[in-house]
């Protein structure tokens, strides 16, 4: 016999004995077969429902995959458009900035002349 380890699980003689059924001997076969048939019908219905749900989930997953792929393509296009519009804004700021400085200098002199003329 192997050495005893404190706290280790040991098999007792009571665990080796078989237990008897509490159901009557004659009714177990009919009850078991009708319960198995009912259980089988219920399981097959549940499996069919699960199969339809998995098919629907697979279809939704495919749609989501296509949407993510299209979103990635559109994100690349938006990046290109952002760069293009940014270039246009920088060019417009450069052109309008130079004209704005010249116009502001001329406008200040023109406004001063207008104020002087009004005072006279």
Query: pLDDT value at position 96?
Result: 87
Is 42 contained in some domain? yes
Query: pLDDT value at position 22?
Result: 62
| Site of tokens 């076969």 | 29
Is 14 contained in some domain? no
4 Cβ neighbours under 8 A, 6+ residues apart: 10
Query: pLDDT value at position 33?
Result: 76
Query: Going residue by residue through the chain (120 aa), what tens digit of pLDDT does each one get?
Result: 555 555 555 555 555 555 555 655 555 555 677 777 777 888 999 999 999 999 999 999 999 999 999 999 999 999 999 999 999 999 998 888 877 667 666 666 655 554 445 555
By the 10 Å C-beta count (0-12 exposed, 13-18 middle, 19+ buried), 15 is classed as exposed
pTM of the model: 0.44
Is 97 contained in some domain? yes
Please give the residue range of the domain that contains residue 82: 33-119
Is 76 contained in some domain? yes
Is 74 contained in some domain? yes
Q: How many structural domains compose the chain?
A: 1
Query: pLDDT value at position 25?
Result: 59
Alpha-carbon distances of 8 from 2, 3, 5, 19, rounded to whole Å? 12, 11, 5, 25
Report DSSP letters for the chain, one per residue. Answer: -PPPPTT-----HHHHSPPPPSS-TTHHHHHHHHHHHHHHHHHHHHHHHHHHHHHHHHHHHHHHHHHHHHHHHHHHHHHHHHHHHHHHHHHHHHHHHHHHHHHHHHHHHHHHHHHHHHH-
């Amino acid at each position: 016999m192997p050495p005893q380890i404190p706290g280790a699980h040991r098999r007792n003689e009571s665990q080796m004995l078989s237990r008897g059924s509490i159901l009557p001997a004659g009714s177990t076969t009919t009850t078991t077969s009708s319960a198995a048939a009912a259980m089988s019908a219920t399981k097959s219905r549940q499996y069919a429902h699960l199969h339809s749900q998995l098919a629907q989930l697979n279809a939704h997953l495919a749609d989501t995959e296509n949407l993510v792929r299209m979103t990635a393509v559109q994100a690349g296009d938006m990046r290109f458009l952002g760069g293009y519009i940014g270039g246009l804004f920088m060019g417009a700021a450069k052109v309008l900035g130079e004209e704005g400085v010249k116009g502001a200098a001329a406008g200040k002199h023109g406004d001063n002349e207008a104020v002087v003329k009004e005072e006279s």
